[in-house]
Amino acid sequence: MTHTTPAIKPTNVLFIICDEMSRQSLSCYGNQLVKTPNIDRLVREGSCFTQAYTPSPICVPTRASLATGQYVHQIGTWSSAEPYDGSVPGWGHQLLDKGHTVTSVGKLHYRSAEDNNGFSEEIMPMHVFRNIGWPIGLLRDQIYSYDGAPEMAQNVGAGESDYTRYDAKIAAESCRWIADAGKQQDASETAKPWVLFSSFVAPHYPLIAPQKYYDMYPPESVDMPLNYAQEERPQHPEVAAMARFWSYDDHFSEESLRKGRAAYYGLCSYLDHHVGMLIKALEDAGLYDSTRIIFTSDHGEMLGNRGLWGKSVMYEESVGIPMIISGPGIPAGQRIDTPVSLIDCHRTVLHSVLGETQQDAATHSHSLIDMANGFVPDRTLLSEYHDGGCTTGFFMIRMGDWKFTHYVGRPPQLFNLKDDPWNRMIWEAQKYIRTFALSAWQNSVKSVTRKRSMNRPSVTSK
């Protein structure tokens, strides 16, 4: 469906993205334990999308989709060994072509800073290892478990890590950049709107939080994972295969599990502190009222629920993400149940900076600004996974209250999110076929993927 966004006043964009934050870990999404007052402020002053999803629940593929507004299967960034290289132009390239400044600070996880990634400048970028990434993500024969799994349980608690120190530098550099932007705006009445892409690592593991933030969550008081008992864990063959590969839970005791969850919550509050620093920098520079702020994450985190840690599966904790937008023209204090995707940030940034934008035939992206003001697109949302640990590709689609996961060559899963937001109850697929015509869901997957290959070609270690 073609949709032309209504014209709005162009503004700057501060795009804040973090890594591995499940929306269920934020107080503004209902978590009564975690303290995130600065992110809560963005919700009070803007709009919060309660049903936001990643296009792929792992870093490298989803960041390519974020850059381009296209799904993983469209651009071929299937796995962590196929990072974005700038060859498919994204929102950054379009803004650069129109003379706007587009700056990144922090983690990108693209191929290389030598590529044209759509930024005027990349400050302290983190890209994939040796410009290659993680070739294990290409394998499908599962000859072993992930050898880094023990580290997650072994390195938990209070302290500093390379990532927490990196995030502190990202916050400081972002604040410095904002202060300079404020001075430049004061000196020029014709300055074009800019984009600052501030990309943090927290709350990505290692599950080590600075002492001040770890102490906010005594391990003995944190909640235990959902569906953690052996008899409550998923029995689906592909999910079981993923659990064997990502064998994090095999290395946790109850003590280290509680410390790990406490540290994760501490990292969420640590990130929130940095969000507060950026908000204050905008206010001090006189830019807060002329800047729209987007806050989101690349994907979620299972955090032990169902015996799973990390991401890479299609349960809500992994595939669901926070999505908040605030600033000029955004209704305040609004919670929106319309399903949205990280790919929608593509058109949102263009809409915000340029004032209007037309639907790009290559993308499924829609403006969050439009949706915050009542527009409801007629579409099916997609998330897909073809990376480490899987023996086959799998796809999640979201239509109305229903979520359907299609595993190529494996049984499907079906959940009703209205009645079962935590995906505890799997509907009987055969019963659904008879009653609601499950084939319609499979046809939806095919239509969203535009009849391209639905499964990355298999690579084995042989």
Tens digit of each residue's pLDDT (9 = 90 or more) over 253-295: 999 999 999 999 999 999 999 999 999 999 999 999 999 999 9
Return the pLDDT at 433. Answer: 44
Q: Which residue has the tokens 């800019």?
A: 194
Averaged confidence pLDDT in the chain = 91
The region of weakest confidence among 42-56, 195-209, 355-369, 446-460 is 446-460
For the chain, the C-alpha Rg in angstroms (whole number) is: 21
In this predicted structure, the answer to whether residue 182 has a pLDDT above a threshold of 60 is yes
SS3 (DSSP) at 204: coil
Return the pLDDT at 427. Answer: 58
Return the pLDDT at 191. Answer: 84
Q: Which residues contact 319 (CB under 8 A, 6 or more apart)?
A: 53, 54, 57, 299, 300, 311, 313, 383, 396
* φ, ψ at 232 (rounded to 5°): -95, -10
Return the pLDDT at 39. Answer: 98
- Cα dihedral value 103, 109, 111, 112, nearest 10: 40
- CA atoms of 403 and 259, how far apart (whole Å): 32
Provide the residue type at 325 as one letter. Answer: I
Return the pLDDT at 157. Answer: 98
Query: Mean per-residue pLDDT for 343-369?
Result: 90
Do strands 394-399 and 121-126 pair parallel, antiparallel, or not at all (unpaired)? unpaired
Query: Mean per-residue pLDDT for 206-224?
Result: 97
SS3 (DSSP) at 207: strand
CA distances from 449 to 70, 205, 349, 403, 453 (A): 11, 32, 24, 17, 8
- CA atoms of 214 and 270, how far apart (whole Å): 9
Return the pLDDT at 420. Answer: 85
In this predicted structure, the answer to whether residue 99 has a pLDDT above a threshold of 90 is yes
Among residues 337, 296, 445, 304, the alpha carbon closest in space to that of 384 is found at 445
Specify the DSSP element, H or E, that contains 382: strand 381-385
| Residue 109 region by backbone torsions, left for phi larger than 0, else alpha for psi between -120 and 50, else beta | left
